[in-house]
Every structure is written in C-alpha cells, then in structure tokens.
Structure 1
Amino acid sequence: MSRYTKKRYNIHDVVPGMEVADLVLTEDGKVALSEGATLNFSNIERLKYWGVTSLMIKGPIEPGPELPNEPMGPLNQQQQKFFQKYDMAVHAIRNAFQNMRYFKEVPIQEMQELAEQAIEPLVETVGVVNHLQMAPREDDYTFHHSINVAVMSGVLGKWLGYNSEEVKELILAGLLHDIGKTQVPLEILNKPGKLTAEEMQVMRSHSTLGYQLVRSIQQVTPAVSYAVLQHHERMDGSGYPLQVKADKIHPYARIVAVADIYDAMTSDRVYTNKTSPFSVAEMLVQEMFNKLDPNICTIFLNNVRDFFLGSIVKLSDGRKAEVIYLGQFTGSRPVVRTDEGEFIDLEKRKDIGILNLESRQG
C-alpha cells in the first residue's frame, strides 16, 4: 500500500518541488510527465503550453488550494484495467502455445479472438507504452514477449498511419511472430546459459517453423505469414533465415522487427538482464540506416520518447537522476538532473550513461 495521499491540483496552483502522483497526458493522449516526476518551472510551463489544466500530486502538500480528492484517479483505474486485460492475454497465449507444442496446429480462431478482443483494446489505451513498460511480468519471457510485440506492432502501425484492418493484421502478426518457438525443444528455449552454435541454429529455425505452421491457414494473410518468416531479416541482408535485403522484406516484417528488438532488449530474459530504453534507443539509432527500416525507426523513436520525460534513472556512476529534457529526436542521451541538483547533458558527457529506469516508490 502507498503511504501518500493523492490530491488533484489546478495547474496554476502547483509549484516546483511537488511530486506527480499519476501519468499526466496531453489532450491528444501523449505522455507529458511520468508518475513520480518532480515539478520544476520548465515542466510546469510546458504543461500549461500543452493545455493541461490539472494533475494529481502526492501529498501531504501544503502550498496551494486543493481540488476534490481522488484516491483512485482515472489514470490509475485505466492502468489497473490495462493490467487485468494484459494478464488475461498472457494466460491465453500461454495455453495456446502449450497446445501448439503438442498438437502442432495453430488454433487460429482463438488467436484471432485474442488479437481482436484482448490486444486491440490494449493498443487503443491512452498511455499504452507506459502501461506496457510497468505491467507486472511473470517468469516466462516467451508469452509476455508475444503479447508485448503484438501490442507494440499495433501501436507502430497506428503511428505509421495504417488503416484499422492493417493494424489488426499487424497485431496478429506480432502475436504469431514467435509461434515457431513452440517447436523448439524446451531445453534450448529455456537454457539459462549461452547457446552453442548448434543450439543457436535450432533456435533460429523458429521463424521458418512458424511460417510452416501458418502459411496454409486460410485466415492468415500472406502479409502476416511473411512477417512471421522475415521478422529477423535485416535491410543489409545480414539477417535470417534467407538473408534477403531491403525491398524483399515485407513492411509488416520490418515493423515487427523493431517491436521485437525493443521489447526483447527492455525485458529480463533467462540468459540476460534487460537494457534501459535509452540504451536501446541508441542501438536503434546506430542500426536504423543499415539493418532496420529508417522510417519505421524514426517514427517509433519520435513517439516512444514521450515515455522517457520525467523518468527516474540510475546513471553509470551510481547516482540517481530525473530526465528533464530529451534533446535530439531520439531522446537516447537526454539532459538529467541528479538528486544533488546537478544538471548533466549526456549528449556532451559521453563518459556517463544510463543503466536502467528506477521504479517509483510510494
């Protein structure tokens, strides 16, 4: 249980030093500040500019008159609903994957219903990137990863301007992209250590195995099938299984590839710990002009960066800091303010990096 109260304040009554209690969203659904961010003069003025009229503040706080108290604000309720739907989707994909492992058939109707009834509402949720990052995750990476990639593929499709039917296909493509892993031996799939060359070859076969499972299913379009087959292909031909290049890679596969990389690197797995979103953003910038589609990466980074503002991070020198300015379009090396009040532009201080995001403590 949190040991603080939440009170809604008018934007004109908040003062620097107050701590934000819930996500603050702009009128168009963009994340303006994360929960736990500390207000300062610049971000208060930015909120006013974006048309934010009120926000939840952690108490007890003395300055300023209070608006009616909301012990469970609408964003918290929305987040709880998101987590419930997310948890149901993870359990559903777990059951489906287990059945596929033994029966070697894709329950396509069940998967389509899961995509439309469970995952599509998650994609449409305001603040989806934040909710997805904070969603409680159980030990089994594969099931969470399939849901996460389905959600992020749908979100990316929306950001790219795809129509509703195409977004539905992208969600299904993300959901099915790793189904070939149901045919990979569990001792390889769940191996905690580094895979041998032979084991890696077996693991890499999952894209081909997945394609073989879906290519003859009438309800699965060729576009979705190609996304399953090609999500590990790279624009320079360095991917697998066929080493095809650029225009030979289906657009859906390029979208799923970005969603796949982002979620894989920002998640804890059996053989490696998660990487901070900032480091992943740097990696995407490095690879967006040779291995990944630069347009998709640019759209992704320009939108997902909204999650970073106001986040608390741990720096490579051990200090904690708050992200106060994102700088260049990627936001991969932002300006931060340490607990001691020092401002650091990480774009200029290459000797300091961000290790990870810090969880909020109530």
Structure 2
Amino acid sequence: MEKITSVKVDDIKTKIDKQDIYIYNGFMAISKYIKSIDEDIKRLKKWDIEEVFIKDADANAYGYQTPEDFEKFARECLVYRNIYFNILEKVKTSLGDFRYNNIVNISNLKSIIDSILDLINKNMNAAIELLNIENLSRDDYYYIRSLNVSMISLMLGKVMKFPEDKLQKLGLGAILYDIGLIRIQDKVLNKHTQFTPEEYIEIKKHTVFGYKIIKTNFRLEEEIAVIPLEHHEHFNGKGYPRGISGNQIHLYPKIVAVAHSLEKILKPIRILRDSQKTPTYSKILNGARTIENKTLSDAVREIIKGANIKFDPIIAKLVVGTFSVYPIGTVVILNDNRRGLVFATNISYPIRPIIKIVSDENNNFIEDGEVINLIETNKLLISGVDKDSNILEEVKSRLLDKKENNDGN
C-alpha cells in the first residue's frame, strides 16, 4: 500500500527530488519530473493552498496532444453550444410555466437533467467550456443561472462518483435552487434603492419559500427540498436561514452553494443603488450583467479562498480537480509572452494544462499554433491569464466558416 503524507508548501523543495506533490485526492501540484519549481510554489501560495500531499507516482499520459485533437475539441464546442441553447429553451418553458402559471411538470425537469448529464458524460471538457458563453439575453438570466448551477453541481457530483439516482436528485434541486424568489414581494424585488434591514430579512426568506414550494407544489423528496433551504448556509455557521454549520448542512446544498458561487462570480451583478453598488433581486431575475470581467479561473480561486469559511473544504478542493486552476477555454499568457488556449487539463496536474498556441509574442493570432503539454516542459510557465481575449470564439468562428464553405462545395 502506498504511503501518503502531508507537507507544507514551504517545505516542497526538500521532497521534490524523489516524489510527486499533490494538492488533494490525486490532483498533482508539482511533478518530480519538473525541476524548475519556484514559480509553481509561488502559484500554490497565491492560490492560498498551504498544504499538499506526497506519494510516489509515475508520470501520467494524457490525451489531447495534437492540433487535430484541438480542432476536434473546438468542433465539439460548437455542437455543444447548440445543444446547450436547446436545453435552455426547455428550462425557460418549465420554470416559466411555474413562475407565471403555477404549472408543474416534473417529467420535463427530469428530461432536462438527463440532457445535462448526457453532455457531461460525452465530453466534460466541452461541457465546462459552455460556462464561458457570453452575450446571452438579459431576459433569460434567471433561467441561465438555474441551468448553469445545475450543470456545475452535476459535474461535481460526477467527480464525487454519485450514482444515477443521486445525480437526478442533485440536478433537480440545483435547477430549482432559487425558485423561492418568486414568492418575494414585487415591491421588494423591484426596488432600486438599498434594502432596509427589514427588506433584507424578507429577501432571505426565499430559502424557506423554495423549500415549501418543492415540498408542496412539486411534491419532491426532503433531500431535494433541502437544497433551496440550505444553499446559503456557510460551513462556518454564519449563513442563513438557520445558521447551521459543517456536517449539519446536507451534502447536496453544500455542492449547490459552490456551484451558485462559481456561476455568480462568472456572471455577477453590479447595479447602482443610489451611491452604493449593491444588487436588486429584480435585476438578478431580469438579467443585469456587470462590466467587470471575471474568468472561470478567477471563480475557482475564489472558491478555494472560501474553503472552511463559506464552503466545505473537501468540495472546494474538488473544484480544482474538476475545473482546474486554468479551466477549459482560459487564454493563458506564457513567460515568453505567447498566448495559449487551454483545451484540456492534466487531471492530476491542474496548474500545467494542455494548450494550443494561439498568438505570438506580439499578440498576433496564429491559426496553426503548436499544441503543448506544459507538464512536459521546464522552460514554459504560465505567467498570467488574458481576461480580455476572445480567441476561442475566433477559432470556432473560423471553423464554422470552414464548415460552411465545405458544405457549399
């Protein structure tokens, strides 16, 4: 049986000559085959990772190693986006029917969860890239958030090896996690000035309302209803509505809390209320977006920082393994100033993904750039993330044009 022990990040250098370094549960931080580790150690500290694990391990081999693999990935992203928008229409119909007409259709919701799981099962990487979709209709924001929170929750559930019945329950509760907002008074939801203490108390009731709706209207099980009830509870006991902590919180809402926060960071709200930058829930429902540009990489980092505070530390650390430090679709800046698009993650080594070079050192687009597995090189390091780049959209646009030209011939 192999031995696994913990080690402080500051002590990594004394261990690296003979052993691999892991962040959590098999997710490698630094390989024994990489000798230039100072930057990797700095990066772990930047991510507030204080402790890692060591064990003997062989170097892993990964797929997605060629330009052809990248083109396949980009084409799959195009296909997945069409499927995503079809699912979104079904979400709008199902949640809209209840929101406006009090119509409940559980079979439609279960069909939606099946469709999401099918996407994840076929290609997790392409499914993750869907979280980067921009320029969506403001009117659809409530439905987009419900869909994405369910999708993220199911990704985490898959990583946690939930059986099919548990995934269905998790997905249903996640897609209905904010259903209680429809019971908040319009005069509070539509208010454009700062909430009074009394109004904030009213807003927080959406968790209890959601629980009652799922039990009474949807007639679903307790372990599904507990998701809207507890998704604002914090691991340290400072959440609401009951202020419970740790293992008092059900596992499902712990997962959904992380998913909700990831989605909220990616698509945050910033509405001016008089002189204060605080959101109104009417804007949340109606789709206001911020001008601040956040990436999935930023979101993952915020989750890690919230471990043991807002989030269960085990679930927070699983986020790194699921989405990686540099998630799918991230444009990273290398130490030679070239840009690379992350299109696959080294599952056991999240800070060194597989990238395709997409621009030169002067940021000129390169269509036929090389594919590099950063675990295999000592010379190239990631120095930052290009938050303003839209290179993946450029690549997919060119592939779509190429496909249309081929279809026309």
Conservation of the 8 A alpha-carbon contact between 2:235 and 2:246: yes
| Structure 2 counterparts to residues 155-304 of structure 1, below 5 A | 155-185=155-185, 189=189, 195=195, 197-216=197-216, 220-269=220-269, 270=288, 272=290, 273-304=292-323
Conservation of the 8 A alpha-carbon contact between 1:122 and 1:151: no
| Structure 2 counterparts to residues 94-109 of structure 1, below 5 A | 94-104=92-102, 106-109=104-107
Q: 2:116 matched to which residue of 1?
A: 119
CA apart distance, 1:209: 1.1
| Structure 2 counterparts to residues 136-151 of structure 1, below 5 A | 137-139=136-138, 140-151=140-151
Q: Which shifted more, 234-243 or 93-102?
A: 93-102
Conservation of the 8 A alpha-carbon contact between 2:104 and 2:218: no
Closer/same/farther in 2, CA of residues 200 and 329 from structure 1, 3 Å limit: farther
CA apart distance, 1:242: 1.2
Q: Aligned partner of 1:119: which letter?
A: I
> Residues 15-40 of structure 1: CA distance to partner in whole angstroms, max 9, x if unpaired?
xxxxxxxxxxxxxxxxxxxxxxxxxx
Number of residue pairs matched by the alignment:
291
Distance between the aligned counterparts of 1:101 and 1:245, measured in 2? 31
CA apart distance, 1:141: 1.7
Q: 1:132 matched to which residue of 2?
A: 131
Conservation of the 8 A alpha-carbon contact between 2:110 and 2:172: yes
Is residue 2:310 matched to residue 1:311?
no
Q: 2:400 matched to which residue of 1?
A: none
> Residues 35-69 of structure 1: CA distance to partner in whole angstroms, max 9, x if unpaired?
xxxxxxxxxxxxx94254643399xxxxxxxxxxx
Q: Aligned partner of 1:125: which letter?
A: K
Please report the RMSD computed on the Cα atoms of aligned residues, expressed in angstroms.
4.0
Task: Point out where structure 1 has 5 or more consecutive residues left out of the alignment.
Answer: 1-47, 59-72, 347-352
Task: Point out where structure 2 has 5 or more consecutive residues left out of the alignment.
Answer: 1-59, 270-287, 364-378, 396-409
Please point out which of 88, 92, 97 is paired with 1:90.
88
Q: 1:110 matched to which residue of 2?
A: 108
CA apart distance, 1:175: 0.8
Q: Aligned partner of 2:299: which letter?
A: V
Q: Aligned partner of 2:327: which letter?
A: F
Closer/same/farther in 2, CA of residues 215 and 157 from structure 1, 3 Å limit: same
Closer/same/farther in 2, CA of residues 343 and 82 from structure 1, 3 Å limit: closer
Closer/same/farther in 2, CA of residues 278 and 331 from structure 1, 3 Å limit: farther
Write out the 4+ residue segments of structure 1 that deviate beyond 4 Å after TM superposition: 185-199, 319-326, 328-332, 340-346
Distance between the aligned counterparts of 2:246 and 2:264, measured in 1? 23
CA apart distance, 1:220: 1.7
Is residue 2:390 matched to residue 1:356?
no
Conservation of the 8 A alpha-carbon contact between 1:268 and 1:274: no
Distance between the aligned counterparts of 1:125 and 1:53, measured in 2? 19
Distance between the aligned counterparts of 1:274 and 1:229, measured in 2? 30
Closer/same/farther in 2, CA of residues 198 and 101 from structure 1, 3 Å limit: farther
CA apart distance, 1:120: 2.3
Closer/same/farther in 2, CA of residues 137 and 157 from structure 1, 3 Å limit: same
Q: What secondary structure is seen at the aligned counterpart in 2 of 1:56? A: helix
TM-score (norm 1): 0.67
Conservation of the 8 A alpha-carbon contact between 1:149 and 1:260: yes
CA apart distance, 1:169: 1.3
Conservation of the 8 A alpha-carbon contact between 2:226 and 2:253: yes
Q: Aligned partner of 1:291: which letter?
A: K
Q: 2:79 matched to which residue of 1?
A: 81
Distance between the aligned counterparts of 1:228 and 1:241, measured in 2? 10
Q: Aligned partner of 1:146: which letter?
A: S
Conservation of the 8 A alpha-carbon contact between 1:90 and 1:144: yes
Conservation of the 8 A alpha-carbon contact between 1:313 and 1:358: no
Closer/same/farther in 2, CA of residues 166 and 150 from structure 1, 3 Å limit: same
Q: What secondary structure is seen at the aligned counterpart in 1 of 2:149? A: helix
